[in-house]
Amino acid sequence: MTNDTTETPEKSDEPSRGSPVAELPAADGRGQDVDPASLQNDEDEESRLPDQVDDQLDLENEGTLATGRAAIERAVKLAPTSPGVYRMLNAASDVLYVGKAKSVKKRLASYARPTGHPARIARMIAATANVEIVSTSTETEALLLEANLVKQLRPRFNVQLRDDKSFPYILISGDHWAPQILKHRGAQTRPGRYYGPFASVGAVNRTITALQRAFLVRSCTDAFFESRTRPCLLYQIKRCAGPCTQEIDFSGYAELVREANEFLSGRSRAVKEELAAEMEKASNDLAFERAALYRDRLAALSAIQSQQGINPRTLDEADVFAIHQEGGYSCVEVFFFRTGQNWGNRAYFPRADKTVPPEEVLGSFLAQFYDDKPPPRFVLLSHTIEDEALLAEALSVKSGHKVEVSTPQRGEKKELVTHALTNAREALGRKLADTATQNRLLQGLTTALALPRVPKRIEVYDNSHIQGTNAVGAMIVAGQDGFLKNQYRKFNIKSEGLTPGDDYAMMREVLRRRFKRLLGDVPTGDAALLATGEDVPQWPDLVIIDGGQGQLNAAREIFAELDLKDVSLIAVAKGPDRDAGRETLFMPDRKPMKLELRDPVLYFIQRMRDEAHRFVIGSHRKLRKKDIREAGLQEIPGIGPSRKRALLHHFGTLKEIERASMADLGKVPGVSAESARKIFEFFHPNAG
């Protein structure tokens, strides 16, 4: 939860290493001959229909190209013949392109040629007003620095890896006598053994659940573990061995942890054989309950491996990359194989000009992908990239072990790549279908609401509170790629003079803070549409408010106060009895309107409104639970110190009280059915 909008900090253009930057003077009158339309290439390829065409530079405009070539020619005179990284900047000092070369001088000289450039490169040259150079000791260092700078600066003429989130791992902790199994992201600083990466949180959660059934390793926190006086529900459903209350001794639990570590380390066959032998021994001893426990554990292990689909027989660890291009889009499918097991796959849609060949897209993608991730021993590719040997050397230096990068031609490795390529083709097909549908909805929204242009960015606002307490506002963002969750924002309502429960004042505060911040950071109008390197403009084309005429008037006040004129505004009021499909739409200086019950545009508006509601409710609940934990149970009417002690003694922690059903709460000594209802409704206000 943040107290205000979370803005991405500005990234410095200063290089992180290497020799000092040689900043070269710009050409006289730089940029004056450049046609602005020819420079507008920052629109996300994914956000456009496949048959849309980029504005092409008029290659006969020799004045435009001459300006850029003049700047590059001056850079050539000062450029070193050694390896390094160069950055091309426009007249506003925005980074257009980051490149690396074995000889920077030769590479820059190639850009200074008068003819023979592809249209994309010609546009870049025409926009160039300045060149900065960083020398490096080796070409390997140049490759790593280039990848780092591309991710940091996001130049619009580079291939850009997007959705670059850290991958989840499974951790079996090593700082407690009863190790815990848990999901982990981020720096691996906690003692223990880490297994991953996994392609998604869902894959980690499914694997942890199956591992709990197979090895009965605890997943609770250390604080919860230490407070237990009786086993929790996970022990009752056979997903934990109950070390917290000594249901299993130390040596027995240590053996379970050893088996879990061995399974995750690739010795799954040996672990299954051991369990099968123990099951047979228990059966021979007529210990059928113990035999059934081993049977269930074996079934859980089989379930893990069946969910993993294809598993390599001869390859211990590898990442498999396959790229497919269609309709001006690129899709890179990545499969992760560790300890001979398939730990999931993920599809990426890197931003690249549609004229860039798949080999170049894949090569740029790989360098950025491994910028902050440990590589495996094998990296298998669907296409041979230009810097294959150089990338292998760079990854080997970075990881401390030999990394082989190859494009297999036969055998099991080829089968893995083919499988990944099939997935890439299918993922891109789904993406194209979704994009076409989204564009049709945006076109329909534009027509239905008579908007001045098809919106590239839609912001939807809502707020949530309970009788004015824990008030929070939220903004969700939608665009031509659907919901853009990395651009969602939360606002803690913090005005001291605010009347509790005043929804209009809350909305005014949220909008004022949002747009005052935006006015200070991002230009409006055409300049906003030319925001360098961004997939969507930072300024919205359309703002949707959850509410009726009153909410619309509150928003109009803020728009008038801040002199906002280029943003369309609409309020969506729920229908009678809050029926979906009977919403009324309010727009400034127009009569309220309703759309047809089954109009796809109405469903689209409902989806955006419901997503904002989901996000703000989740934010409010987190804030309220934080306050509850800080204040204890005294906030619940009718719950005094004696009942609080009884509840904590019975359940152990406040978290368990939150999870308890109404029936379980009623079993606590001293808690009546009415008190149980009040407690349950306090933690679950929307239940029923």
Q: Supply the range of the domain harboring residue 542.
A: 450-623
Greater pLDDT, 590 or 272: 590
Q: Compute the distance between CA of residue 239 and CA of residue 383 in angstroms, rounded to an integer.
A: 44
How high is the mean pLDDT of the chain? 78
Count of domains forming the chain: 5
Residue linked to tokens 């590719």: 381
Query: Between vectors from CA 40 to CA 35 and to CA 42, what angle results, nearest 5°?
Result: 160
What mean pLDDT is predicted for residues 515-528?
65
382: left (phi over 0), alpha (psi -120 to 50) or beta: alpha
pLDDT tens per residue across span 236-289: 888 898 999 888 889 889 988 988 888 777 666 667 777 777 788 777 777 777
Sorting pLDDT into bands at 50, 70 and 90, what band is 295? confident
pLDDT tens per residue across span 469-518: 667 888 999 988 888 888 888 888 776 666 666 788 888 888 988 998 88
Residue of 363, 364, 367, 403 lying closest to 383 (CA atoms): 363
> At 171, which amino acid appears?
L
Q: Are both 353 and 421 inside the same structural domain?
A: yes
In this prediction the pTM is 0.65
CATH of residue 616? 3.30.420.340
Q: Which residues contact 343 (CB under 8 A, 6 or more apart)?
A: 196, 197, 198, 199, 203, 207, 308, 336, 337
In a domain, 688, yes or no: no
Return the minimum-mean-pLDDT range out of 50-64, 196-210, 391-405.
50-64
Task: List alpha helices for 312-456, DSSP H.
Answer: 358-369, 388-399, 411-449
- For 576, other C-beta atoms within 10 Å of its C-beta total 7
Greater pLDDT, 306 or 95: 95
Q: Which residues pair with 380 in a beta bridge?
A: 320, 406
Q: Are both 674 and 615 inside the same structural domain?
A: no
Does the pLDDT of residue 381 top 90, yes or no?
A: yes
Q: Are both 186 and 259 inside the same structural domain?
A: yes
In a domain, 6, yes or no: no
pLDDT tens per residue across span 130-152: 899 999 988 988 988 998 898 88
In a domain, 23, yes or no: no
pLDDT tens per residue across span 678-687: 888 777 766 5
CATH of residue 72? 3.40.1440.10
In a domain, 160, yes or no: no
In a domain, 524, yes or no: yes
Of the residues 153, 181, 205, the one at which a domain ends:
153
CATH of residue 670? 1.10.150.20
Does the pLDDT of residue 230 top 70, yes or no?
A: yes
In a domain, 629, yes or no: no
Sorting pLDDT into bands at 50, 70 and 90, what band is 320? very high
Q: Are both 282 and 332 inside the same structural domain?
A: no
Q: Are both 530 and 674 inside the same structural domain?
A: no
In a domain, 24, yes or no: no
Q: Are both 391 and 505 inside the same structural domain?
A: no
Angstrom distances, CA of residue 283 to CA of 196, 206, 239, 256, 297: 36, 30, 22, 20, 15
Find which of 98-112, 183-197, 621-635 is predicted with most confidence, using mean pLDDT.
98-112
Q: Compute the distance between CA of residue 337 and CA of residue 591 in angstroms, rounded to an integer.
A: 59
Of the residues 120, 153, 186, the one at which a domain ends:
153
Q: Are both 499 and 640 inside the same structural domain?
A: no
Q: Are both 567 and 456 inside the same structural domain?
A: yes
Q: Are both 377 and 343 inside the same structural domain?
A: yes
Q: Are both 470 and 604 inside the same structural domain?
A: yes
Does the pLDDT of residue 37 top 50, yes or no?
A: no
Long-range (24+ apart) CB contacts under 8 A made by 114-119 are 114/65, 114/69, 118/355, 119/56, 119/57, 119/59, 119/355
- Give the length of the chain: 688
Q: Read out DSSP for 205-268?
A: HHHHHHHHHHH----S-HHHHHH-SS--HHHHTTS---GGGTSS-HHHHHHHHHHHHHHHTT-H
Q: What is the pLDDT of residue 407?
A: 93
> Quick one: which H or E segment has residue 591?
none
Of the residues 400, 430, 460, the one at which a domain ends:
430
Q: What is the pLDDT of residue 618?
A: 76
What mean pLDDT is predicted for residues 67-85?
89
Q: Are both 473 and 555 inside the same structural domain?
A: yes
- The pair of structure tokens assigned to 664 is 């379980």
pLDDT tens per residue across span 610-666: 888 888 887 767 666 655 554 556 667 667 777 777 887 777 667 778 778 888 888
User: 322: buried, middle or exposed (CB in 10 Å: 19+, 13-18, 0-12)?
Assistant: buried
Q: What is the pLDDT of residue 168?
A: 86
What mean pLDDT is predicted for residues 101-130?
88
Q: Are both 266 and 343 inside the same structural domain?
A: no
In a domain, 521, yes or no: yes
How many angstroms separate the first and last alpha carbons of the chain? 27
